[in-house]
Chains A and B, each alone.
Chain A
Amino acid sequence: MDSRSLGYLAELLDNSLTTLKSLRIETLNHGSEGGLCVNKLVNQLGLISAKANKIEYLELDFEFTADCEPGSWWYRLDNMLCKPDGWPALKRVSIGLSYSLRTPSLRTLESDSWKHLPDEALAGISSSNVIDLKYYLPSLTGP
């Protein structure tokens, strides 16, 4: 499914939200398209959280090339997942990150910035007593 269809995710799942327990989204994007796609995903998750849902397990895998700078959407994701009554059945969130970069120096730099992500940008889920956050550091697969 291409990234345009991601904008219809909530509509697509509308009739299944009361039975759906596990939702896994993997995005494979390049450059600025990655940010757009993730923003779109966060918006759609917001729409899903506004409806009655029984989702227990949410897995989000993000893969980028180059455009890895953590942006405000991390905080939006954190706020949205920790919204009271938004996800009444949510038990676990898995966030996977992988990206590739072309120079070893940038690789190290970006890798270091990602290491602080759960504590800083995902503070709500990290400190949640209800939601278990499983976070994967990026795999450095660049040439």
Chain B
Amino acid sequence: MLDIPYDVLEIIIDALASGLDDVYEPWRCLVDLKACALTNHALATLSRKHIFSTIHLVIPDAYGVEYNTLLHSQFIGLISDSPDILGFIRKFSFRADAIGVDDVALIEAILKLNKVRSLDVIFGYIRPPPYLQPVIDHLLQISTLTHLLLRQTIGFSASSLLSCLNLSHLTLDDVIFSHEWGEDILLPLPKPIVLREFCSNAGREILPLIRARRPDGHHLIDFRALRCIGSLQSSPHLHFEAFERLIGVPRQLEEFYLQCTSKREPPTFTFT
């Protein structure tokens, strides 16, 4: 194997790692990559960038977690022992409501992330606490960030999105925005966010974003280049109106995904 040129090995490992995109069984690929990483130094180097490309921070006893999960303490230890891993992390998710004001080491570790492309934050129906705002601001301003999933939050400041310079995919799951603009906004403002894909599960998320304008009068988000619109789950009222308004904006909409469900509870069955 040592006779195989390094760039050929890289192609092989990259091809193997394409299995990480498997929606249902990415862990199968992960097992293979970990086996490769134990083979020799060259393969370890090539495999690590894939093994650590996705990190989900979880709390103990988390239910239904995905692959590549790490406890807070494991993540802190990993970053401390192998800081080079920071450059490998492309997808990152965490629960904001699981991070306390005393979790200084964890906050510092997250603040070191600098190559994240896809960010998934679950707030657990809380307003982002002040001590986490620097973390949120840091992650959103990472220049490589293109995919953002915000979940279960109230009072999320839409102005935080201003720093997402290269955001192209935005998914909102139960998000209520606040449109208070901070006093510390730096001028001149960056270019508006130009989305390619937008998914939402509620009309209450869509209309405020369509209407939101920056302090300079421009729209916060430019929806005209949208290629894909998705509706994730059920939501009563106003939803049709909001989607009708949104769908009228893109010039070249190519994909539409709709998930619809009845609000009725499942009936009780009796078998005789």
Contact = CB atoms under 8 A, between A and B. Distances in A.
Contacts of A25: 257-260
B236 interface: yes
B235 interface: yes
B269 A33 contact: no
A19 B253 contact: yes
Looking at B239, B240, B252, B264, the one whose CB has the most chain A CB atoms below 10 A away is: B240
A79 interface: no
A20 B228 CA distance: 9
Contacts, number: 100
Nearest to B255: A22
Given A27-B261, A33-B264, A8 B240 contact: yes
B234 A13 contact: no
A29 B271 contact: no
A2 B231 CA distance: 10
B271 A102 contact: yes
Given A2-B236, A2-B239, A12-B240, A37 B262 contact: yes
A26 interface: yes
Nearest to A56: B254
B128 to A, nearest CB: 27
Contacts of A65: 266
B239 A5 contact: yes
Contacts of A134: none
Interface in B9-56: none
Interface residues of A, number: 33
A13 B247 contact: yes
Contacts of B250: 16
Contacts of A30: 262, 264-267
A143 B240 CA distance: 34
A24 B269 CA distance: 31
Interface string A10-24: 011101100111111
B263 interface: yes
Contacts of A6: 258, 260
Given A12-B247, A25-B258, 18 more contacts: A1-B234, A1-B240, A1-B258, A1-B259, A3-B234, A11-B244, A16-B256, A20-B253, A21-B254, A22-B254, A26-B258, A27-B259, A27-B261, A28-B260, A29-B262, A30-B265, A31-B266, A102-B271
Interface of A: 1-3, 5-6, 8-9, 11-13, 15-16, 19-31, 33-34, 37, 65-66, 102-103, 106
Interface of B: 231, 234-236, 239-240, 243-244, 247-248, 250-267, 269, 271
30 contacts: A1-B231, A1-B235, A1-B258, A1-B259, A2-B260, A3-B260, A9-B258, A11-B244, A12-B244, A13-B247, A13-B256, A15-B248, A16-B247, A16-B256, A19-B252, A20-B256, A25-B258, A25-B259, A28-B261, A28-B262, A29-B262, A30-B266, A31-B266, A31-B267, A33-B264, A34-B262, A65-B266, A66-B269, A102-B271, A103-B271
